[in-house]
Amino acid sequence: MLTIRPARSFDRDEIWRCLAPVMRSGETYALPRHWSQRQVLSYWMQPLHRVYVALTADQQIVGTFYIRDNQQGGGSHTANAGFVASPGFGAGRAMAEFALQEAERLGYRAMQFNFVVSTNERAIALWHALGFSTLARVPEAFDHPKLGMVDALIMWRRLSSQPRVP
C-alpha cells in the first residue's frame, strides 16, 4: 500500500535517490545526463511544479512526480506532468492515477505530455490504459544513449470540462 503526499524540502535526498538512476541513464528524459544533484533537484522541484512523493508503509520514498501548467496564459488550463518510479513497488500506476485526480481537483481540463520517448513502452502502455491518446509522433526527436535517434510522442487526455480556478 502506497501513500502519496506533497513533497517537502526534507524529502530532497530521497527524491534524488529515485531520480538519479533515471537521469543518469538518459533513456527517458530530455535533460542533460551530466547534471548534478543540485541541478536535477532544482529542475524537478522548481516553484512552478507541484511535487509529490509516493511512500511505502515504512515511509520510504519510491516515486515522485510533478504537475504543472503545460503552457502559460491561454494554455494554463492543460496540465503537464513528469514521473519517476523506483521499480518493484507499483508506484508508477498509483502516481499516474493520483496525478489525474489531483490535476482535475486543481481545475485542469486536460493533461498533455509533450515528449514521451517512444522506447518507453511501459509508460506509453500505462498512458494508453489510462485513456490518453497519441496526438503526434515526432520523428527522431530524442537521441537515445543506446539506440540512437528515436521518436517522441505527444500524448493527451481530457480531464474535466469545469473551468480552472487559479
Q: What is the pLDDT of residues 58-115, one digit of tens each?
A: 999 999 999 999 999 999 999 999 999 999 999 999 999 999 999 999 999 999 999 9
Q: Does 134 have pLDDT greater than 70?
A: yes
Q: Residues 35-46: pLDDT tens digits?
A: 999 999 999 999
Mean of the per-residue pLDDT values for the chain?
Answer: 95
User: Would the pLDDT of 165 be above 60?
Assistant: no
For residue 157, which of 104, 90, 92, 120 has the smallest C-alpha distance?
104
pLDDT higher than threshold 70 for residue 166: no
Taking the CA of residue 72 as centre, how many other CA atoms within 13 Å lie in the half-sphere pointing to its CB?
A: 1
% of the chain at pLDDT higher than 90: 95
From the list 38, 93, 39, the residue with the least C-alpha distance to 65 is 93
Global pTM exceeds 0.75: yes
Residue 98: which of 25, 6, 14, 34 has the closest Cα?
Answer: 6
pLDDT at 161: 61
Domains contained in the chain, CATH given: 3-158 (3.40.630.30)
Query: CB within 8 A of 161, min separation 6: which ones?
Result: 109
pLDDT band at 164 (very low <50, low <70, confident <90, very high): low
**In sequence order, what DSSP letters do the residues of 115-136 get, joined into one string?**
EEETT-HHHHHHHHHTT-EEEE
